[in-house]
């Protein structure tokens, strides 16, 4: 029963459809509660360096369902494809990642911080869907959903306060 409730809880937390990515969060120690099934990979993270140029993303290609401990670059060193709505200052961190989608569906980007997320195809920013924070005490600070068609996307991360950023992209349906 608990396993059924947990994904439902996560969906409830994503219930606000928002154009912007505002956030509020609870403060408590991460990793002190069990993760819902759709965030199960969150604690099994692989290291990955974020890219800084669109044409150099071979080593920054995300695998769906695999969580990462990413290392971002200083914001002035990142060449975003499209200027993020909240670009972050010179002392912040950011980076870009490749994501290949083979099936149309709803995909969710989960972060361990409240950094700004853009999903870009070509030079078009994909409108975000539901937005929310992760379950308290999981370390998932922010989750944003995107409806994606098959193709190559670039995920832009901006305005992060530090170089380290846990990140997970997963397909919801």
Partner 1 sequence: MRGVTAALLALSALIVGTAASRPAEWRWNLPEGVAPPPVPADNPMSVAKVELGRRLFHDADLSIDGTMSCATCHSQRRGFADRTSTRPGVHGDPGKHNVPGLANVAYLTPLTWADPRQTRLQEQALVPVFGDHPVEMGMKGQEAELARRLGGDRCYRRMFRAAFPETRGRIDAEAVAKALAAFQRTMLSFNSAYDRYRRGESGAAPSSEALAGEGLFTRHCTACHAGENFTDQRFHALSHGATATDGGLGEITGLTEDHGRFRTPGLRNVALSGPYFHDGSLETIAEAIAQHGGTVPAFSEVERDALLAFLDTLTDQDFASNQSFGYPEKACGKPLL
144's tokens: 């944003």
159 binds partner 1 (CB under 8 A): yes
Question: CB-wise, 16 or 102, nearer to partner 1?
Answer: 16
Question: CB-wise, 22 or 69, nearer to partner 1?
Answer: 22
Contacting residue, 27, 55, 102, 127, with partner 1 by CB under 8 A: 27
138 binds partner 1 (CB under 8 A): no
Helices (H), the chain: 2-13
SS3 1: coil
Contacting residue, 52, 138, 156, 160, with partner 1 by CB under 8 A: 160
Question: CB-wise, 101 or 141, nearer to partner 1?
Answer: 141
Asked whether the beta carbons of 114 and 20 are under 8 A apart, the reply is no
Q: Is 36 exposed, middle or buried (0-12, 13-18, 19+ CB in 10 A)?
A: buried
15 binds partner 1 (CB under 8 A): no
120 binds partner 1 (CB under 8 A): no
19 binds partner 1 (CB under 8 A): yes
In the complex, minimum distance from the CB of residue 125 to partner 1, in angstroms, rounded to a whole number? 14
Asked whether the beta carbons of 153 and 99 are under 8 A apart, the reply is yes
Asked whether the beta carbons of 61 and 171 are under 8 A apart, the reply is no
Residue 166 CA to residue 48 CA, distance in Å, equals 10
Residue 106 CA to residue 84 CA, distance in Å, equals 22
Question: CB-wise, 156 or 170, nearer to partner 1?
Answer: 156
Contacting residue, 33, 66, 87, 172, with partner 1 by CB under 8 A: 87
Contacting residue, 75, 138, 156, 170, with partner 1 by CB under 8 A: 75
- Which residues fall within 8 angstroms of residue 104, CB to CB, at 6 or more apart? 147, 148, 149, 150
Interface contacts to partner 1, rule CB under 8 A:
18-20, 22-25, 27, 75, 80, 83, 85-93, 114-115, 159-162
């Amino acid at each position: 029963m608990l396993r059924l409730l947990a994904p439902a809880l996560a969906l409830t937390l994503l219930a606000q459809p928002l154009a912007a990515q505002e956030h509020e969060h609870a403060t408590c120690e991460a990793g002190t509660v069990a993760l819902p099934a759709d965030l199960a990979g969150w604690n099994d993270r692989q290291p990955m360096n974020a890219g800084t140029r669109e044409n150099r993303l071979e080593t920054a290609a995300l695998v769906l369902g695999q969580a990462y401990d990413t290392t971002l670059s200083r914001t002035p060193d990142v060449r975003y494809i499209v200027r993020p709505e909240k670009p972050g200052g010179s002392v912040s961190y950011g980076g870009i990642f490749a994501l290949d989608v083979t099936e149309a569906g709803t995909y969710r980007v989960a972060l361990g911080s409240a950094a700004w997320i853009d999903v870009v195809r070509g030079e078009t920013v994909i409108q975000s869907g539901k937005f929310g924070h992760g379950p308290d005490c999981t370390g998932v600070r922010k989750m944003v959903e995107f409806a994606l068609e098959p193709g190559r996307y670039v995920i832009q991360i901006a305005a992060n306060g530090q170089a380290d950023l846990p990140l997970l992209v997963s397909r919801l349906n």
